Amino acid sequence: MENISKIQAFASKFKETNLAFTPTSIADAKNTLLHLDFPTTKTEFWKYTRLAKLAQLRLNQEKIRENEQVVAPLTDNGIVRITNGYITSFSKEIAGLTITPFSKCSEQQLSLIGKKADLKQNIFLALNTLYSQEGLFIEVEENAQIEGVFQLLFHAHGENCFAPFRVFIHVKKGSAFKLIQQFTASGEHLFSLPIVEYLVEENARISCDKLQMENASSFLLCEDYSIQKRNSTVLLNTFSISGAWVRNNSSFLIEGENCETNLNGAYLLKDLQHLDNHTIVDHIAPHCNSNELYKGILSGKSTGVFNGKVFVRPNAQKISAFQSNANVLLSDDASVNSKPELEIYANDVKCSHGSTTGQLDENAVFYLRARGLSEKSARSLITQAFIAEVVDKVEQKEVRDFIKNKLVELHDWTN
């Protein structure tokens, strides 16, 4: 028998897509999967996240058309459900928004997809490109201020299923759009691979809250690619609430002047959960601000990774870029690898980065107990306060409340 690579064995049951974003995207993806294999921990980008367990799975793409609801949607402003990588329910009409499945997109629309992502280096991007059966193109009309929050509900269901999906969001000039992406799973050995691209035009604004709530045997790999034009604002909040293995690759290219880029993340890990947040903020243009705040609480034998890279290119004068990662370890067996990185090639800039990992402040616990609070309440109040700084970055109150309640429910906190 021919000696095939791990990635080829992994993909052996997958179905090639009928969708092609660009004339070469399929060929490039195939080529990548032919020549690259699953990265090992010797690769810097995957140093602290093992792919061996994922690589051993033999997954299918199972088409599901009915909906299963694990977590109720937060509002009914506009919802698209995506189950196992297939669109299972479509949004109602919303003024200012055009939502089109890839199969019905124009060539001009499709040509925007995958522009800045490096298909030749990234096997997951290749898997997504070659095997996504469906995709969604969301267009926010020029100057449209979309009311309420739009929701993408990604759900994986069944056993041994692979769920790749691609989304492209074009936020046109002067428009504003608020989005929630929710990730849930029911079943065993599910691998979700949603990739979302954002093209944020001049004076446009997008805020996006990602709520990751998969289950104890699921794998979730999210990639986000954002490109910003002049005077635009991007806010991305990622909450990793449950899910056995989660990897987030978030990449922000700031091409235009006067942009705001805010990335926040909070994670609460327990048992054997593993979460890896990799972020790249690339400042190309002058007069921009980026802020990054990731905070995590780890208990049990959970492991966390934070790797944040900020590039300040030679032309990116007068920018400010701040980055911070703070972790609290609640058990001896939990661990974090945190690496904030700054690469600065411009001289007139304000940048800072920092990383802390510590225990819960026992003096604070004692203080609260000395006022009559039980030890459990005291600990949960202090941990909630630690995470609240990130939760408070969420703009919608209903989303903030949802996250808080979810954390209370899953982490046995007192409210």
Partner 1 sequence: MINIVNLHAEVEEKKILKGLNLNVKAGEIHAIMGPNGSGKSTLASILAGKEDYTVTAGNVEFDGKDLLELSTEDRARQGLFLAFQYPIEIPGVSNVNFLKSALNEIREYRGEEQISAKDFLALVKEKSALVELDSKLASRSVNEGFSGGEKKRNEIFQMAMLNPKLAILDETDSGLDIDALRIVANGVNKLRSPKNAAIIITHYQRLLDYIIPDFVHVLYDGRIVKSGGKELALELEEKGYDWIKEELASNAE
Which one among 364, 396, 404, 406 touches partner 1, defined by CB under 8 A? Answer: 364
- Minimum distance of partner 1 from residue 290's CB (angstroms): 24
CB 153 within 8 A of CB 184: yes
What span, in angstroms and rounded, lies between the C-alpha atoms of 223 and 237?
Answer: 13
Q: Is the dihedral of CA 397, 180, 76, 411 positive or negative?
A: negative
Pure H helices in 328-371: 362-369
Which one among 375, 398, 401, 412 touches partner 1, defined by CB under 8 A? Answer: 375
Q: Which of 218, 280, 220, 287 is nearest to 249 (CA)?
A: 280
Which one among 5, 337, 377, 396 touches partner 1, defined by CB under 8 A? Answer: 377
- Minimum distance of partner 1 from residue 156's CB (angstroms): 34
Q: Which is nearer to partner 1, 76 or 401 (CB)?
A: 401
Which one among 368, 396, 404, 406 touches partner 1, defined by CB under 8 A? Answer: 368
User: With binding defined as CB under 8 A, does residue 369 bind partner 1?
Assistant: yes
User: With binding defined as CB under 8 A, does residue 405 bind partner 1?
Assistant: no
Which one among 23, 367, 395, 398 touches partner 1, defined by CB under 8 A? Answer: 367
Beta bridge partner(s), residue 356:
326
- Minimum distance of partner 1 from residue 392's CB (angstroms): 9
Q: Which of 312, 315, 252, 324 is nearest to 281 (CA)?
A: 252
Within positions 201 to 220, which residues make up the interface with partner 1, using CB under 8 A?
Answer: none
What span, in angstroms and rounded, lies between the C-alpha atoms of 295 and 378?
Answer: 19
Q: Which is nearer to partner 1, 227 or 387 (CB)?
A: 387
Give long-range contacts, CB 8 A cutoff, 24+ apart: 373-380. Answer: 376/414, 377/414, 380/411, 380/412, 380/413, 380/414
User: With binding defined as CB under 8 A, does residue 143 bind partner 1?
Assistant: no
What span, in angstroms and rounded, lies between the C-alpha atoms of 170 and 172?
Answer: 6
Structure letter (DSSP) for residue 60:
B
User: With binding defined as CB under 8 A, does residue 388 bind partner 1?
Assistant: yes
Which one among 4, 9, 34, 385 touches partner 1, defined by CB under 8 A? Answer: 385
- Residue count, binding to partner 1 (CB under 8 A): 23
Which one among 361, 401, 409, 412 touches partner 1, defined by CB under 8 A? Answer: 361
Q: Which residue has the tokens 């293995």?
A: 245
User: With binding defined as CB under 8 A, does residue 371 bind partner 1?
Assistant: yes
- The set of residues, in sequence order, having a beta carbon less than 8 Å from that of 83 and lying 6+ positions away, is 64, 65, 66, 67, 68, 155, 156, 157, 163
- Minimum distance of partner 1 from residue 385's CB (angstroms): 3
User: With binding defined as CB under 8 A, does residue 97 bind partner 1?
Assistant: no
User: With binding defined as CB under 8 A, does residue 406 bind partner 1?
Assistant: no
What span, in angstroms and rounded, lies between the C-alpha atoms of 125 and 105?
Answer: 20
User: With binding defined as CB under 8 A, does residue 359 bind partner 1?
Assistant: no
What span, in angstroms and rounded, lies between the C-alpha atoms of 355 and 144?
Answer: 39
Near partner 1 by CB under 8 A, which window of 74-82, 181-189, 335-343, 374-382?
Answer: 374-382
- Minimum distance of partner 1 from residue 388's CB (angstroms): 5
259 phi, psi to nearest 5 deg: -100, 155
Q: Which is nearer to partner 1, 221 or 382 (CB)?
A: 382
Binding residues for partner 1 (CB under 8 A): 361, 363-364, 366-375, 377-378, 381-382, 384-386, 388-389, 414
